[in-house]
Amino acid sequence: MDVIEPEWPAPGRVHAVFTLRVGGVSAAPYDSFNVGAHVGDAPQAVEDNRRHLRESLRLPDEPVWLEQVHGTDVVELESPAGRRQADAAVTHSTGRVCVIQVADCMPVLFAAQDGSAVGAAHAGWRGLAGGVLEATVRALRVPPRELLAWLGPAISQEHFEVGDDVRAAFMVSDSGATEAFVPNTRGRWQCDLYALARRRLAALGVDNVFGGGWCTYADPARFFSFRRDGRCGRMAALIWLGAPRA
């Protein structure tokens, strides 16, 4: 199946992919590889797409699908199964699959340089401003300078218009965040999620940051975009610990 694989120096037992919108069975406007069960797509189509995901990637287990709410809660996959309302997941165990669903918000994947832990965070503007990256790094229990981070496909600054409230949410804790906002001719702001994520990670001490540079809005052939289409499917960013790659 068509996926994007992070280009980062992760150890061999770290496996990570980002799915694209093509190659599935969902009908428009969810065409065609939608993995989101909450967007109005036919349940059987979502189930078939998720099964194809597991089989094609040879996943060691069913991904732990979260009920994402644009918050900052983190699920540790070693904890007993229960409510999965959260916007990040981490694991220190082989075979547990972290997954985040997106369609403009930024997925951020984390891996310990020694291969001892991995995690995934759902980082739209609310999550970023609220501290989802900080919460995920704490849950990983790895010194920040020993972490790798990968910024997956998200809406670009050119297409992400926001109001004063969004800018103010970041300025509260970081006056330098103004650099990530450019005024437009409509009296609003163009917001750079990638720049905001990098600032947050740098403040934490996570210096090894990779990825970035895609735009989900501008590439309808590969990506779903809620801002562009409204009703649409969701893509998945997955990361897990397994056997070293050959």
pLDDT digits (tens, 9 = 90+) for 68-86: 999 999 999 998 765 689 9
The H or E element that residue 120 is part of is strand 118-123
- What confidence score (pLDDT) does residue 217 get? 98
Take residue 90 and report the two structure tokens written for it.
């981490």
Beta 14-19 vs 74-76: how paired, if at all? unpaired
Residue 29 lies in a domain: yes
Residue 17 lies in a domain: yes
What's the angle, vertex CA 136, arms to CA 130 and CA 139, rounded to 5?
130
- What confidence score (pLDDT) does residue 239 get? 98
Closest C-alpha among 150, 156, 195 to residue 174: 195
Domain containing residue 216: CATH number: 3.60.140.10
The owner of tokens 């163009």 is 190
pLDDT digits (tens, 9 = 90+) for 52-65: 999 999 999 999 99
Rounded to the nearest 5°, which phi and psi values hold at 183? -70, 145
Take residue 79 and report the two structure tokens written for it.
């904890």
Query: Is it the case that residue 26 has pLDDT exceeding 90?
Result: yes
For residues 92-107, give the mean pLDDT.
97
Take residue 240 and report the two structure tokens written for it.
């897990």
For residues 39-59, give the mean pLDDT.
97
Query: How far apart, in whole angstroms, are the C-alpha atoms of residue 7 and residue 73?
Result: 27
The contacts of residue 137 (CB under 8 Å, 6+ apart) are: 110, 144, 147, 204, 206
For residues 42-61, give the mean pLDDT.
97
Residue 176 lies in a domain: no
Residue 66 lies in a domain: yes
**What is the total count of domains within the chain?**
1
Closest C-alpha among 190, 225, 195 to residue 212: 195
Closest C-alpha among 51, 46, 7, 50 to residue 27: 46
Query: How far apart, in whole angstroms, are the C-alpha atoms of residue 26 and residue 225?
Result: 16
Query: Is it the case that residue 27 has pLDDT exceeding 80?
Result: yes
Residue 165: other Cβ atoms inside 10 A: 8
Model confidence at 246, pLDDT cuts 50, 70, 90, reads: low
What range does the domain containing 141 cover? 12-157+208-241
Residue 167 lies in a domain: no
For residues 41-62, give the mean pLDDT.
97
Residue 161: other Cβ atoms inside 10 A: 15
Mean pLDDT of the residues in the chain: 96
For residues 15-44, give the mean pLDDT.
97
C-alpha dihedral over 110, 111, 113, 114, to 10 degrees?
150
Residue 126 lies in a domain: yes
